[in-house]
Amino acid sequence: MEADVSPNLVLWLTFALAFVFGAIGQKTHFCTMGAVSDILNMGDWSRMRMWLLAMGVAVLGAGALHGAGLIDLDKSIYRTTSLTWLSYILGGFSFGVGMVLASGCGSKTLIRIGAGNLKSLVVFLVLGLFAYMTMRGVFGVFRVAYLDPVAIAMPEGQDIPSLLAGFGVDEATASTLAVIAIGGGLTAFCLLRRDFWTLDNLLGGIGTGLLVVFAWYVSGHLGYIAEHPDTLEEAFLRTNSGRMESLTFVAPVAYTLELFMLWSDSSRVVTVAIAAVFGVIAGSAAWSLATRSFRWEGFANVEDTATHLIGAALMGFGGVLAFGCTVGQGITGISTLALGSFITLAAILAGSVVAMKVQYWRMMREA
């Protein structure tokens, strides 16, 4: 699994993948909040199927790389031996509410910045601030003291293949069955609907899923070092977590702000996560400018400003607790078949549905 490549190559490849992600997101209107809203308001499952297709493709692709020995998903942040279920539920629910109030999740925020949305720039700053405070600041103290300890120890691993192996199925067979059943099932659910077969739907679903897979390969294979010359331990080039990483967009925003604030500190360098943040913004900006859809947009009024600020804070806080966002857990985490990712996904959806119902109730009351 080791490849002799430079850190800069890993960073540039990550930037390129994120650039394509940003362009695809801008073109196809890939948006989890929008997908939930479409179902609740119009009964339209098109964008939700786009998201589910991305999950299915990511599961199949990541499973194939893992099975071929090109990457080891056990070395990701998702397949831990501790199921912090309270953090997943509270964090996911908070993030789901936050993305509705802030008009989009972490990735959508970056995409909108690239398209000229100044509201999303404010969301970016507040999200990053609260994410950092939850990782290392005042909320981090609360998290470590009261939330992280609430966990279920799972020594064999919390991923679904490991759970199946506990029933006597050998690990390789369990992994294959889980990947085919979940990845194949999600993919089939989306592609069996002929009315789903539009360029945007297929590009958004298949393209996004493949980008997550390619990012796993870049970080987990090309960026893998079996024995780092300084520490004599295995390492993954330029990752903040010290493990292999793919696309996710909450903690990376905090890392980006940290780099800007501590730029004179020579120990601070551009990481895979930071490269991905820049890539998404650049890709979205390139597509917006090329199609002349770039538009400056600001807040409508004080209430609009307050709503976005609260939403950004909830996303920063919740995204760190839940170890990711709608992309970080909903696609990247799901691709590892970690049980925590499925719990977080359910909590995010629950939070977004509740927030949208409350917003609709307020609108009807005011009307």
User: What are the pLDDT digits (tens) for 174-196?
Assistant: 999 999 999 999 999 999 999 99
* Rounded CA separation 75/143 (Å): 23
Tokens 């939930």 appear where? 36
| pTM, full prediction | 0.95
* Rounded CA separation 279/275 (Å): 6
Average pLDDT, the chain: 95
CB atoms within 10 A of CB 12: 14
Give the pLDDT band (50/70/90) at residue 1: very low
Asked whether 2 and 186 are in contact (CB, 8 A), the reply is no
Q: With 80 as the cut, is the pLDDT of residue 119 above it?
A: yes
pLDDT 10s digits, 36-80: 999 999 999 999 999 999 999 999 999 999 999 999 999 999 999
- CA terminus-to-terminus distance, the chain: 61
Encoded amino acid at 313, one letter: A
Per-residue confidence (pLDDT) for residue 72, from 0 to 100: 96
List residues bridging with 153 in a β-sheet. 82
Give the pLDDT band (50/70/90) at residue 4: low
